[in-house]
Amino acid sequence: MYQETEKFKKYGKLFMPLVGAVLLLPFLAAGIVSVCLGNFKLDGKKVSMYTAAIDDHVIYLNSDEGKKAVEEADKYVAYLQEAKRAAEMSMQWFGNRFKIFGRLRDKRAEEPERAAAQAQTAAETKTKQESDIQERGMKMVIIAGLGNPTKEYENTRHNIGFMAIDALADKYHISVMDCKHKALIGKGVIGGTKVVLVKPLTYMNLSGEAIRAVVDYYKADAESDLIVIYDDISLDVGQLRIRKKGSAGGHNGIKNIIANLKSDTFLRIKIGVGEKPKGYDLVDYVLGHFSKEELEVMKESLENVDGAVSLMLEDKVDAAMNQYNKKSKGE
């Protein structure tokens, strides 16, 4: 059956087992990978070794069997390629899982820090809420100055209320920068009394909306715990007039406050900005800026406002009226 060469006769007995072992190794490896992957079946009965290389000679048992050997070799090449692809997919799968595990590990490592930050935020929020609740239950006097927001209205006659609040804030080191209740507000202490300084951001004609929101929030008694400071064209420049109640007197800001509070009983400090000259439009006049001379007078007037407020916070409203309600010229 075999056509042997002389070299094959000489070395065949020793070489054949070695050749068989070498040729069986790929099949064995392919079988192991296939069994692991579950999609490769190796039939040992159909596997035969048909070729052997000895000193550049190839011995074929017969031509048909040689072809079968080539076909079987091609099959194993295909099997190995499939096994390689399966192995690469497996490695990729495990790699992805390791990445996921790594991310989970990093996430778990961050959890204590995140939990600590959340706990701190929750504690700060709780403290602020408790502080707000406590403040809302305490007596606090609201001092509101009327005016119009935005830079174009700074130092105008209609904004003297804002100027009075700024002067109080500067003297008593109160920051009026907290934007709440449609207004800029600042909390502080004047003469031992807790106060809330307020500058409505609603523009003058809707001042009552902000005032009502602040009064409601702090549960204040508007009759005794609210002081409103604003301009009055019926008073000489710098003159003060303190009142416990009264009508709006044509002032749109006060008119809106009365409408929102549904009451005209609240403390007020009116600051004179001078009567409108003949021929002037009223709106143009009140939205006009003070002259240098008027500003000098207003500096002294704002100091008087501070004195009046201090007395009023001590429940000495009548004393404040007697001291600062000076008669204007001609009265």
Asked if the structure places residue 287 within a domain, the reply is: yes
* Confidence at residue 211, expressed as pLDDT on a 0 to 100 scale: 97
Query: Does residue 252 share a domain with residue 317?
Result: yes
| pLDDT, averaged across the chain | 78
Last-in-domain residue among 76, 104, 130: 130
Q: What is the extent of the structural domain holding 7?
A: 1-130
Continuous segment of H or E residues that includes residue 135: helix 63-137
Last-in-domain residue among 130, 164, 186: 130
Rounded average pLDDT over 266-286: 92
Check pLDDT > 80 for residue 313: yes
Query: Does residue 121 share a domain with residue 184?
Result: no
Asked if the structure places residue 293 within a domain, the reply is: yes
* Confidence at residue 53, expressed as pLDDT on a 0 to 100 scale: 40
Which residue has better confidence, 306 or 18?
A: 306
Is 158 catalytic? The answer is yes
Residues in the chain: 331
Confidence of residue 78 (pLDDT cuts 50, 70, 90): confident
CATH number, domain containing residue 198: 3.40.50.1470
What does the alpha-carbon distance between residue 302 and residue 239 come to, in Å, rounded to a whole number? 10
Query: Does residue 298 share a domain with residue 156?
Result: yes
Instruction: Specify the pTM.
Output: 0.60
What does the alpha-carbon distance between residue 268 and residue 245 come to, in Å, rounded to a whole number? 7
CB 273 within 8 A of CB 285: no
Query: Does residue 235 share a domain with residue 98?
Result: no
Check pLDDT > 70 for residue 170: yes
Provide the percentage of residues in the chain whose pLDDT is more than 70: 63
Asked if the structure places residue 330 within a domain, the reply is: no
The tens digit of pLDDT for each residue in 10-50 reads 545 544 555 455 555 555 555 554 544 444 444 444 444 44
The tens digit of pLDDT for each residue in 220-261 reads 999 999 999 999 999 999 999 999 999 999 999 999 999 999
CB 233 within 8 A of CB 242: no
Last-in-domain residue among 130, 155, 185: 130
Asked if the structure places residue 329 within a domain, the reply is: no
Query: Does residue 67 share a domain with residue 34?
Result: yes
Number of domains in the chain: 2
**Exposed, middle or buried: residue 48 (CB in 10 Å: 0-12, 13-18, 19+)?**
exposed
Query: Does residue 303 share a domain with residue 179?
Result: yes
Query: Does residue 296 share a domain with residue 187?
Result: yes
Confidence of residue 60 (pLDDT cuts 50, 70, 90): very low
Query: Does residue 168 share a domain with residue 262?
Result: yes
Rounded average pLDDT over 148-163: 94
List the single range of 104-118, 238-252, 299-313 with lowest mean pLDDT.
Answer: 104-118
Query: Does residue 174 share a domain with residue 73?
Result: no
Query: Does residue 281 share a domain with residue 244?
Result: yes
Asked if the structure places residue 108 within a domain, the reply is: yes
Asked if the structure places residue 243 within a domain, the reply is: yes
Confidence of residue 182 (pLDDT cuts 50, 70, 90): very high
Confidence of residue 57 (pLDDT cuts 50, 70, 90): very low
Asked if the structure places residue 331 within a domain, the reply is: no
List the single range of 135-139, 155-159, 212-216, 314-318 with lowest mean pLDDT.
Answer: 135-139
Residues 57, 158, 173, 251: which is the catalytic one?
Answer: 158
Query: Does residue 320 share a domain with residue 187?
Result: yes
Asked if the structure places residue 178 within a domain, the reply is: yes
Query: Does residue 195 share a domain with residue 114?
Result: no
C-alpha distances out from residue 215 to 140, 184, 190, 198, 211, Å: 10, 14, 19, 11, 6
